[in-house]
Structure 1
Amino acid sequence: MQYIEDQDGQSTYSVHTKLGYKLSERALINIYDLKRIIASAVATAVDTSFTYTALGFQFK
């Protein structure tokens, strides 16, 4: 639960998934997804939370 000042508590969560493949000892490739629901004091009066979503690709 997350509380902002004297407002009611809000549920928050974060999910991070990653799928990858090791090409060799020195190279790998990943695809990832991140989703978060976070309480916010600056959002509208009806819904005081926001959603953050990120999709990505990584090559090392």
Structure 2
Amino acid sequence: MTSTTESRTAAVAPFFTDPDFDFEFRCALGDTAHGVGDPGTWLATAASITDGDRASWFDA
């Protein structure tokens, strides 16, 4: 195996630029594997949230 030094971009794009929002959303989305909610519902809810706006997160 050969080592390369080429530049790579992140393989996973964040859902939110706010790290707290992104973490919490990823946790909620991951919980769908255990029957907690529906991925489509979570994604639709995330679309209604203004990134970084705590009141928007709470209202969603």
The structure with more radius of gyration = 1
TM-score range, shorter chain: under 0.3
Between Structure 1 and Structure 2, the one with more helix by share is 2
Q: TM-score, normalised by structure 1?
A: 0.18
